[in-house]
Each structure stands twice: as structure tokens, then as C-alpha cells.
Chain A
Amino acid sequence: MSAALASLRSGRDAITGLVPGWLFAAVLLAAAVVFPYLVGSGSFLDASTQTLAYVIMALGLNIVVGFAGLLDLGYVAFYAIGAFVIGWFGSQQFPDVNGGKGIHILASDRATFQPKLSGGKLDIAGIHINFFIVIFIAMAITAMWGVLLGAPTLRLRGDYLAIVTLAFGEIVPRVFENSTSGLFGIGSTDFSHGRQGITPIDKINLPWSHDLLYSDANLKPAYWVALGMVLFTIFVNRRLRDSRLGRAWIAVREDEVAAASMGINLVRTKLWAYAIGAAFGGFAGVFLGTYNNTVNVDQFEFGFSVFILAMVIVGGMGNIWGVIVGAVALSMMNRYGLPQLNNLSEPLGFDVTAISFGIFGFFLLIMMVLRPEGLIPSGRRRLEFHEAEIEGAEDTGAVGDMSQMYEVRR
């Protein structure tokens, strides 16, 4: 008991040690805000904006995997759902809505009407809802789906949980892909345009403005929107982590039975993790949908789930700052590191960018073998992963009782 308390305390110290003071946070924030002025509005800013979206997803997945200890290999499903929500509510996908005149809620002028040569205005068909409304619609929808997909997995542990989530991650994009005339053959509405995907998607505009927030020539506002979303995500994550629910997640992660006997409602705790994790997947999905200007089922591969999972693991599961570092590192490596490597490998006659997922696989492997707790682990996690070394001899070679995902104490 006292050992457990001590490990709790040292874990806490490690966390507080890593969390920067307010001054440091303010400096970091200021740097993040003025960052676009330093790098200009080129491809690096574009990469940074994408990275911010990945940071949101990694933080969302961190809630499920890092906090609650539920290995989710199908996170891409929520990206898909979020992206399709903006695809439906911010494009001309449903041309027959409202008698062909479309629905426009706080949409930009460009999404609302086309000026006619004769001087009048022609309504643009389809549903066009302001981005800042859609993100909350999408969060609600993905949270709901998180609960729906999470509910059947509540009884499962470890590997089985991972496989079921993986299966969901495979099914969701297939359902979207095949829903070109009605859903499951019911009705005849085209929900997805099949493999072509939905494009173009409305660009972001502020609710009180009729102009687009950014253009290809000036990506800075898009970056700031993403940064704002990241800040919101970090805020929610931090508050959740230190909340009653967050402590319940960690308790469930470490020992379900003990947590349940301490009065934690396992069902509710796990479902909240799925719901909130999924909501952030949808949150980022909406942004990426509009930012990439296309929603296409090819984006929603298993590889993407693993990409995000790799960010969480490389950075350090359960540690918000670690996950952010992991996300930035992997995203930037994907964008710049691999093409750099490519220059080296070209004489050898192969294209490194083609095998990017293999390289991520390699990182996962190396990471797990050499430093399973991640680059910047939470103290508690480090203890979990190195417990075998600490307590060592008594259960060397035990393949035995692995029915629990995390053996914390013995």
C-alpha cells in the first residue's frame, strides 16, 4: 500500500516536473501565435497546420489509449465520420435539399450564391453551415458513434478490444464508400460519391463575416484556427486528466477489478473515454476535411490509425506534452524527414516515401523494445513498463497471466 502510494507520488512529481510554469507556457503560446510570421505562408506553414490537426487527434486518442488504457486501433473511423460531417454540411453533396436552393447558415458568400451576369444571384445548392457550427455538430455525432462503437467492446480486454476497434475502423470507411445510393441500399441519396469522395468543401469563414478566412496565398488564419482548436483540446485534456473522471480512467487502466470495487462505474467511465476521444477525432476530422478540401475514403486507412497511435506511443502514452511532441515529431518527419531520407536512398533505387508506414512500423518496434514508455513518459507509465526490471527475478519469463492489459502491481 505504501509502495503504491509512493509510486503515485513520484508519478505526480514527474508530471508536475514536466508541466512548464505559467510563464513558460505563455512564452510558448506567444511563439506558437507569431510562428506564421516567422516562417511565411509557404509549405512549412501548411505542414504545421496539418500537424496541429494531428496533434488534436493524437490528444483525442491519448484519452482512450493513454488515460483509460483501451487500445483503439480504429481511431480513423472518427476522423472519417468527422470529415464526412463537414462533407455533408459544407458542400454541394445534397443538391436536392430545399428544392435545389440549398440551406445556408452563416455561410460565406462564396458558399451561398453565385452572382449572375444579369446582376441577380443564384443560390448554391447543398447544405452550407458555418465551420464553427459544424465542428460542434461533428463532435456530438462522433461522440455518439464513439459510444455506439464502444458499447459492444466493454466486456473485452486487451487484444480482443484492439481487434474489435480495428474492425470498426475498417467497416466505417467501407460503409461510407458503398453508400453511393442510399445507406445499406435504403433510399437513393448519394452520401459519399464513392471512391471519388466529396470535393470541394466550403472553406472556413467566421460566423459574423461573409468572407473566407484564408486563401491559398495566405494560410495564416487557417493555422490560427487550428492552433485555437489545439489550445481548446489541451485545455479540455488537462482539465479532464485532473478531474474525477480522469482519475477514474487511470484507475480503470491500472486495475479494472480494483477500480470497480472502489465504486467506479466501469461502463460509464469507459464510454466517456470513447465518447470524448472520438469527439476530438471528429473535431480534427472536420478541420482536415475543409482544409484538404476533399473527403475521400482513401484517407481513412488502417495505416492512419497506426500513424496516430505511433504519435501517442512515441511521445509517451498518457502524457499530454509527450503526445504533443510525438505528434509534431512524426507529422514533420512524415512531411520532411522522409523526403530527405529519399535523397539518400535514391542511389539505392527505392522511394522512401512509398514505405513511410514501414518506417513508422520500425519506429513503433524500436520504441517498444528500447523505450516502451515513450520519449516523454508520464511517471506512472514509466513505472508500469519497467516494473518487470524493478521487481525482476520473481516472474521472469512469465507468459502467464496476461489477461490484464496492464499489470501494475503484483
Chain B
Amino acid sequence: MEAASITETASAPPPARKVGDVLNAYALPLLLFGALLAQFIYDPTGTLENVKTGLSNGMVWALIALGYTLVYGIVELINFAHGEVFMIGAFVSLSLWQTFGVTEQTGLALIVVSIVAFLFLSMTASATLNVLIERAAYRPLRNAPKLAPLITAIGMSFILQNVGLLWRPTPDQVPDLIGSHSVYFTIFDVDVLHSDVFAVVITVPLLIGLLWFVGSTKYGKAMRATAQDPDAARLMGIDVDRTISLTFLLGGLMAGAAGLIYALYNLTVRFNMGFTAGLIAFTAAVMGGIGNLKGAVVGGLIIGVIQAVSDGGDFLGLPLGEAWTPAVVFGILILVMVFRPQGLFGEETREG
């Protein structure tokens, strides 16, 4: 736990807590869980189905959320352009498939090879882009008031979104390489699709790898040190600039992977997909306690489920549905930020 948190605080023994405090601290998770439970009783099969979709979809949000949480943990900046980095990752993978003419008809072995190879390439592309963004837009403003890099981040986000618009002006179909919508197996009446399995199979190793990297390597230690106190880290001989670049690199890698998974999962990409995805993933990161890597993953999964349940339409008789989902997700974002700025499970963060 400690190792996976990028902004860990000194682990003083927790003060004795009153019942009221505990209730206060867990009110929001309990509320969310209670709502899910009620919905489950209201509509068991549909809810299970939604939870399944939400969890596999949440994998993508988790990957993007990691990028936000890593960067925020280390430079306290909302990397607004991160959603666009994800979008570019998806575009790169689609372009690679198109260039090499990989389609549904290609042999299985080649498809697998192409997915693995292009996963690597789109991750690299997104990571490079993210590092460049840091260089161009954030590094010059490292000492400026906090407002300044946030505004360049927004500017960067718009620029990239329009690059995406020039690249692919209309929504593009992605070749259905993994047979996304065919059923892999059925459990408790819930059809688990190829896409669900695919998302889990690609994401889980990446998540474990990242947690290991940040928690157990020398570079990870440097990142954590920089997050805690950049000046002290510098005094200890850590190259802070390089560590920050590394952080953006890792975030970009995850976003690139998320882009490829998203493309094969939803089979359609468009230039403005990054903006919403970015906000959803940011919600996930805040939910998990910003700076907390495991929290971001859990937050991603929770947001995925919330989104799927809301998309499902009938929530305890309330007519939600896809039109309401953004409002629901943003509403939850506001609730979390206002009442639990340290995240659902997190300790106090510097914003909190």
C-alpha cells in the first residue's frame, strides 16, 4: 500500500476516531455501494451485466487515471491534455492496422502479433507525446503561479484535439480483430464478451508492472521522493527534471495502451473521445485519492460501474440512460471533490 502511493504521508499512528468520523469518512463509498446493492435487488441480471461491462470498461479508465494520478502526484498539475494523449494512442494503433492492412480476415497469429507489436508502438507514441507536452507546455512554467500551467494544459488539450480533428475528421471504424462482441463464456446468465476478456488480459499485467516499477525500482523511488519534496530530492542527487519526464513517460505509456484497448473494445474512434474520457478518468483518479496508484485503479473500476449502470437506463425507476451519464459522472466528481477531496479511501492530500 505504502509503496504504491506516490504522495505517501508519514505514517503516524491514526488518532482515535469517533463513530461520527468513521461514518463521515465512509459515507460516500457506503452510499455508492448501497445504491449498487439496491439496484441489484431491483434488477439482478441487468445489474450483474452492467457491473461486468463497467469493470472491463473501467480497466481503460484505470489506465488513463494512472496518468493523471502520477502526474498530479509529482507536479500537482492536472494534465488536461492527457485525455488527448489517450486519443492519439488510439489513432496511432488504428493507423498502424490500416497501414499494414490488418483486418478481420488476417490469420489469427498475425492478428496477435500485430496487436502486441502495435500495443508497444502506440504506447511509445503516446509516451513520447506526453514527454514532449511536458517539455513544451509545463516545464517553462514550473515556477509560475499554478494557474499558468493549468491554462497551458487546456491549450495543449485543444491543440491536440484539433490535430485529431485534422487527422480523422469523422468517426472511424476499427477492424474488429478480436471479435469484440462475441461471447467468450457465460457466467450467472452474464455474457462475458471477447472485449471484456481482452481489456482485462492487457490491462492487468500493465497495472502490475507499473505498481512494481513505482514501488520497487530505483526510478520509482526517485519519483516518490520527488513527489514528497522536490527540493530535498534534488539535494539527494535526484535529477528532478528527468524524474518528472519519466513520470510523464509512464503516464503516456498507460494512455497509449488504453487507446489501443479502447479502439478494439468500442470499435470506433473519434477526435473528441479524449476529452470526455479524460474527465471520466480524472474523476476516477480523484475518487481513488489523487497520487494514490492503487486508488486510481479502484476509482477507474468504480467509475466504470457507475457509468455502465447509468447507461443501463432504468436506475431504481429513475430514467437515466446515456444522455444522462455525463451529468451523473460529473455530479459524482463534484460530490467527491467537495466532500472527500482526499479520495474515497485516501489519506489527506495536499489539496484536501
Residue B157 lies at the interface, judged by CB distance under 8 Å to chain A: yes
Inter-chain residue pair count (beta carbon < 8 A): 174
Residue B178 lies at the interface, judged by CB distance under 8 Å to chain A: no
**Which of A160, A303, A406 is close to B158, meaning CB atoms less than 8 Å apart?**
A303
A407 to B275, CA, bound (A): 30
Q: Are A364 and B150 in contact (CB under 8 A)?
A: no
Q: A160-B341, A162-B150, A178-B323 are in contact. Are A403 and B145 (CB under 8 A)?
A: no
The residue in chain B whose Cβ has the minimal distance to the Cβ of A307 is B158
Which chain B residues lie closer than 8 Å to A146 at the CB level? Answer: none
Which chain B residues lie closer than 8 Å to A406 at the CB level? Answer: 145-147
Q: Are A399 and B151 in contact (CB under 8 A)?
A: no
The residue in chain B whose Cβ has the minimal distance to the Cβ of A364 is B155
Q: Are A354 and B165 in contact (CB under 8 A)?
A: yes
Q: Are A369 and B152 in contact (CB under 8 A)?
A: yes
Which chain A residues lie closer than 8 Å to B330 at the CB level? Answer: 167-168, 170-171
Q: Are B148 and A398 in contact (CB under 8 A)?
A: no
Q: A interface, by DSSP: helix, strand, loop or mixed?
A: helix
Residue B242 lies at the interface, judged by CB distance under 8 Å to chain A: no
The residue in chain A whose Cβ has the minimal distance to the Cβ of B158 is A361
A156 to B351, CA, bound (A): 8
Which chain B residues lie closer than 8 Å to A322 at the CB level? Answer: none
**Which of A155, A167, A174 is close to B334, meaning CB atoms less than 8 Å apart?**
A167
Residue A397 lies at the interface, judged by CB distance under 8 Å to chain B: yes
Per-position binary interface string of chain A over residues 140-180, scored 1 when its CB falls under 8 Å from any chain B CB and 0 otherwise: 00000000000011011111101110111011001101100
Which chain B residues lie closer than 8 Å to A399 at the CB level? Answer: 74-76, 142, 226, 230, 240, 244
Residue A124 lies at the interface, judged by CB distance under 8 Å to chain B: no
Which chain B residues lie closer than 8 Å to A183 at the CB level? Answer: none
Which chain A residues lie closer than 8 Å to B204 at the CB level? Answer: none
Q: Are A185 and B318 in contact (CB under 8 A)?
A: yes
Which chain B residues lie closer than 8 Å to A177 at the CB level? Answer: 323
Q: Are B319 and A185 in contact (CB under 8 A)?
A: yes
The residue in chain A whose Cβ has the minimal distance to the Cβ of B282 is A163
Q: A170-B279, A170-B326, A363-B155 are in contact. Are A159 and B162 (CB under 8 A)?
A: no
**Which of B141, B147, B166 is close to A71, meaning CB atoms less than 8 Å apart?**
B147
Q: A167-B330, A350-B166, A354-B165 are in contact. Are A159 and B351 (CB under 8 A)?
A: yes
Residue A357 lies at the interface, judged by CB distance under 8 Å to chain B: yes
Which chain B residues lie closer than 8 Å to A309 at the CB level? Answer: 151, 154
A296 to B240, CA, bound (A): 48
Residue B143 lies at the interface, judged by CB distance under 8 Å to chain A: yes
A178 to B313, CA, bound (A): 13
State the Cβ distance, B248 to closest chain A Cβ, in Å: 13
Which chain B residues lie closer than 8 Å to A160 at the CB level? Answer: 286, 337, 341, 351
Q: A170-B330, A175-B327, A354-B165 are in contact. Are A361 and B144 (CB under 8 A)?
A: no
Q: A71-B147, A175-B327 are in contact. Are A364 and B152 (CB under 8 A)?
A: yes
Can you pick out 16 interface pairs between chain A and chain B where the beta carbons lie within 8 Å of each other? A73-B154, A156-B351, A160-B286, A171-B334, A174-B323, A178-B323, A303-B158, A309-B154, A354-B169, A361-B159, A365-B136, A365-B156, A368-B148, A368-B149, A399-B75, A407-B145
Q: Which residues of A contact B (CB under 8 A)?
A: 71, 73, 152-153, 155-160, 162-164, 166-168, 170-171, 174-175, 177-178, 185, 302-303, 306, 309, 313, 350, 354-355, 357-365, 368-369, 372, 384-385, 388, 395-400, 402-407
Q: Which residues of B contact A (CB under 8 A)?
A: 72, 74-78, 136-137, 140-152, 154-159, 161-163, 165-166, 169, 226, 229-231, 234, 240, 244, 275, 279, 282, 286, 318-319, 323-324, 326-327, 330-331, 333-334, 337-338, 341, 350-351
Q: Which 3 A-B pairs have the closest CB atoms?
A: A358-B162, A361-B158, A364-B155
